[in-house]
Chain A
Amino acid sequence: MTDATQSDTAFRPKPSLPPPANTVGAVGWLRKNLFGGPVDTILTVVSLYLVYLIVQFAIEYGIINAIWSADTYRECLDINRGEGACWAGIGVWFNSMMYGRYPDEEQWRVNLGGIILLLWLIPFWLPKITGKIQIGMSAVLTFPFLGAALFLGGEFGIFLHVMASVALTLFAAVWLHVATTYVFGRSLAELLVSATGFAGKDDRLHKYVLLGAFGVGFVLSLVYLGSWDLVEIPTTIWGGLFLTLVISGIGIASALPNGILLALGRRSKMPVIRVFCTAFIELFRSVPLITILFMAVTMMPLFLPVELNPPKLAMVIVAVCIFAAAYMAETVRGGLQAVNKGQYEAAQAMGLNFWKMMALIVMPQALKLMIPNIVGSFMGLMKDTTLVSIIGLYDILLMGKAAGQNPNWLGFHTEPLLFTAMFFFVLCFAMSKYSQHLERTIGGGYGRR
């Protein structure tokens, strides 16, 4: 039979056939993904038609029929009968939507504050730089005071004066540190220690050198800030995107530290702390933000002494911070639960105390797991701050609405809304992208587990 001859011949694989022509290349891709069957084909055609309608409308409304220069809304309507955007209005109202009623000639203070904050955070992305955590902490903890001094102006109290000086000193230190790192290849601390001749001495003495340098910077800042003579701008006329960023910025910066403390408190073995934190979290998570805002501006003043009379903005910021902290606490708790029990045990067995265990072992792992949720909360908070418009703070949304109530601009509503939406989209999209970047890079060495 043929069996014998077959087993004698060595096995020789035939070369594989090329794939059928219609499964490769652009045509193949189209067939596979868009026109795989009658249902797919119908869906594809309908979707393409919808996309076409939207794009066509966007181009006609936003570009072809749009008016780029006009002095009143009437002028726009006369030309395009409302069939196109009146971008001219955005030009007219741009300043208000950015700064509210902050006087034109003082707006440089807002810009300067923003630039300082950006500069403070830039070293975060520079490679080489050491002590990034300290840089981030110094910005989050002290910039608000420098910002307040700059934005408010006038005669600031002793507390604000001192804190703003601390902030200014730290800001200068951060950039001196960047300079020494890039010019001399050494950190500011090392350079200070060796320049004062303490390099060879006991490590413990180094601390005093740094404290001394800080003291000198602090006194200089104190004097410098004392020489400031800025017009006082009350918070009641702050507004626009500036106000939105002040509220959401402070809310976001405070949410994580407060949330971590609340989450730890909720897991505490001490009943008083645990009950308090649980009640706090559950209460503020179950109440709409707008209710908390109303209570903050209408009821809080009744409880506080008349002399104190804090500005509405301060009450609103406190309310937003409380709300954000309560939400963040639950996010953090989820992250803490996801960390393996063995990690806690190993840390304890080595003799780490509770705070060191949390800071060095548990939180870094929990935070990495929580990044998407944390950034999700930040984005939610940023958008939620538009609720302050309901209690009459002129944030970017309410400022845009106010534009349409101006006699010359009656009915000018859509364009400010689109403009506002664009700002939120840009800010939130940037956060989202940055969080994806962080997820990829933080602790990139986990490797296989």
Chain B
Amino acid sequence: MSIDTQALDDVVHVASAISDVVVIELAGVNKWYGEFHVLKDINLSVNKGERIVICGPSGSGKSTMIRCINRLEEHQAGDIIVNGTEMGNNLKNIDAIRRDVGMVFQQFNLFPHLTVLENCTLAPIWVKNMPKAEAEKIAMQYLERVKIPEQAQKYPGQLSGGQQQRVAIARSLCMSPTIMLFDEPTSALDPEMISEVLDVMVGLAESGMTMLVVTHEMGFAKRVADRVIFMDQGEIVEQNTPDEFFTNPKSDRTKLFLSQILAH
């Protein structure tokens, strides 16, 4: 079976700088929603600076898996270790991990009652006790990096979807995380806005950030990912470099998925 990957062939891969320090370790992670087994024996280890793209059919447990990494979901069996801190019921550990891990959501989840600038300074001020002036200076730097410093005084409701998602990325970066999680960051966007968000993410990858990205943007995967992970029915079915993954998928489920994704 051959898959048409023409469109992806001429993508140039961003240089990667993977160190051999493991920053995220999932070992034998299992999770159930009542009777429903969402995560089945997940084993995954991520090195510092590594960029991982996670794909798979809807409902396969991608969101659940990355949300376990910052404890938006609780796992019931197995170990999750982030930056050497064991994830458990210890609130101190959870706080420590959340300070290090930024997250960007499909629906942006900006705070509608705060301006763009206040969205960005809230956590540095209230979690890190940073003086307001310093927090604002840092926030403006990141807003410049995502190319919307001129929107700082507006409210999220006044921005387009692409702008809102870029603010959400800047907001996460203001906490200077070492790891960034993205859960389908472009799925809620109109097509013409997808590339402005992806560009920001590519820039972030170039700066050496450790990234876990759930996305179906295969061009982005090809360009940025060091590893592509395919999930189905709560399992990691296959993982490989993007080249191998797209040109030489091993399991039938992966082939079927890729043919559906790349068909259009």
Binding site for B on A (CB under 8 A): 203, 340, 342-343, 345-353, 356, 360-361, 364-365, 368, 443, 445-449
Contact = CB atoms under 8 A, between A and B. Distances in A.
**Chain B at the A interface: SS class:** loop
Interface stretch (B44-52, B97-105, B196-204, B210-218): B97-105
B113 interface: yes
Contacts of B172: 349-350
A352 B123 contact: yes
7 smallest CB-CB distances across A and B, nearest first, come from A447-B157, A346-B109, A342-B109, A350-B123, A445-B155, A351-B98, A447-B158
B32 interface: no
A443 B115 CA distance: 10
A54 B240 CA distance: 85
Contact of A449 (B102, B131, B157, B175): B157
A370 B215 CA distance: 37
B259 interface: no
Nearest to B72: A345
A342 B103 CA distance: 12
B98 A203 contact: no
Nearest to A342: B109
Interface string B114-138: 0100000011001100010000000
Interface centre among A342, A352, A364, A445 (most CB of B within 10 A): A445
26 contacts: A342-B105, A342-B107, A346-B111, A347-B111, A348-B70, A348-B72, A349-B98, A349-B103, A349-B172, A350-B123, A350-B175, A351-B95, A351-B175, A352-B123, A352-B126, A352-B127, A365-B112, A443-B112, A445-B115, A445-B155, A445-B157, A445-B158, A446-B113, A447-B154, A447-B158, A449-B112
Interface residues of B, number: 29
A439 to B, nearest CB: 14
Interface of B: 70-72, 95, 98-99, 101-103, 105, 107, 109-113, 115, 122-123, 126-127, 131, 154-155, 157-158, 171-172, 175
B128 to A, nearest CB: 8
Contacts of B127: 350-352, 356
A446 B123 contact: no
Contact of A446 (B98, B109, B155): B155
Given A443-B113, A445-B155, A349 B72 contact: yes
A364 to B, nearest CB: 5
B98 A350 contact: yes
Contacts of B72: 345, 348-349
A347 B123 CA distance: 8
Nearest to B153: A445
Contacts of B70: 348-349
Contacts of A356: 126-127
A349 B168 CA distance: 12
A266 to B, nearest CB: 22
Contacts of A348: 70-72, 98
B113 A350 contact: no
A361 B126 CA distance: 12
Contacts of A447: 154-155, 157-158
A346 B67 CA distance: 11
Contacts of B171: 350
A360 B122 contact: yes
Contacts of A365: 111-113
Contacts of B115: 445
B216 to A, nearest CB: 20
B131 A351 contact: no
Contacts of B105: 342, 345-346
Nearest to B126: A356
A347 B171 CA distance: 11
A364 B122 CA distance: 14
A343 B111 contact: yes
Nearest to A346: B109
A244 to B, nearest CB: 35
Interface centre among A203, A343, A347, A349 (most CB of B within 10 A): A349
Given A351-B175, A443-B113, A446-B157, 18 more contacts: A342-B105, A349-B70, A349-B101, A350-B172, A351-B123, A351-B127, A352-B126, A356-B126, A360-B122, A360-B126, A365-B111, A445-B115, A445-B155, A446-B155, A447-B154, A447-B158, A448-B157, A448-B158
Contacts of A350: 98, 122-123, 127, 171-172, 175
A343 B109 contact: yes
A39 B171 CA distance: 61
Contacts of B110: 346
A3 to B, nearest CB: 43
B95 A353 contact: yes
Contacts of B155: 445-447
Interface centre among A343, A356, A360, A364 (most CB of B within 10 A): A360
A360 B114 CA distance: 10
B121 to A, nearest CB: 11
A368 B154 CA distance: 19
Contacts of A368: 113
A361 B157 contact: no
A364 B112 CA distance: 10
B208 to A, nearest CB: 22
A358 to B, nearest CB: 12
B139 to A, nearest CB: 13
Nearest to B70: A349
Nearest to A448: B157
A131 B157 CA distance: 26
Contacts of A445: 115, 154-155, 157-158
Contacts of B123: 350-352
Nearest to A350: B123
